[in-house]
Structure 1
Amino acid sequence: MHLIQLLLPLYDRAGQPFPPGLYDRVRKELVARFGGLTTYSRAPAKGLWKEDGDSVRRDDIVVYEVMTDAVDRAWWATWRKQLESEFQQDELVIRAQAIEQL
């Protein structure tokens, strides 16, 4: 079993919130494809990273996660590119980890 997490930004580069419909489409796609979804959105997570030298950038993010038996890497790579365009990101983090259900 694998846990796949999508880290989605709440704001565009100008600091404006993305439209709710964008998140609705992502949720619908994940539920349709994986049969369920967990969303961590009540208190946005904070992302920090160094960009150039000592400059630190910050993002408020929401985390969506799904569980699946197999990871279709080709599908995820294609969908990540689409999401990067829709969310105006140079790189969007989608990560997978093997899990054991207890």
Structure 2
Amino acid sequence: MAALVEILLPVIGNRESAYRNIRKQLTEKFGGVTFHANAPAEGLWKDGEETETDKIIVVEVMVDEIDREWWRRYRQELEAAFEQEEIVIRATPIERL
């Protein structure tokens, strides 16, 4: 089943080369990528009593099938590259019209 895979990346310092690399990797593997980078979204979450805030970039890729193992490894690579405890990657089933 086709799916839209979304990657929520943090906006951290000067990571332009990392973002370029992600664009290149995903375009080569899946044939295209959408980067919502011009107006970063704001992510909020609770950490105990504190509310944390991040600026995030949403990266989207449409896939015909979800290779869960590939995405698990890719998430780990991104977590290391961005020095994050967790990078969220989520998939939503889609129907192409």
SS in 1 for 2:84: coil
Structure 2, unaligned runs of 5 or more: none
Partner of 2:33: 37
Whose strand proportion is higher, 1 or 2?
A: 2
- Inter-partner Cα distance in structure 2 for 1:39 and 1:86: 18
- Post-superposition, which runs of at least 4 consecutive aligned residues in structure 1 deviate over 6 A? none
> 1:1-102 maps to which residues of 2 (within 5 A)?
1-11=2-12, 17-52=13-48, 54-102=49-97
Percent identity between matched residues is 45
1:41, CA displacement in angstroms?
Answer: 1.0
CA RMSD of aligned residues (A): 0.8
Number of residue equivalences: 96
- After TM superposition, the score normalised by the length of structure 2 is 0.95
- After TM superposition, the score normalised by the length of structure 1 is 0.91
Structure 1, unaligned runs of 5 or more: 12-16
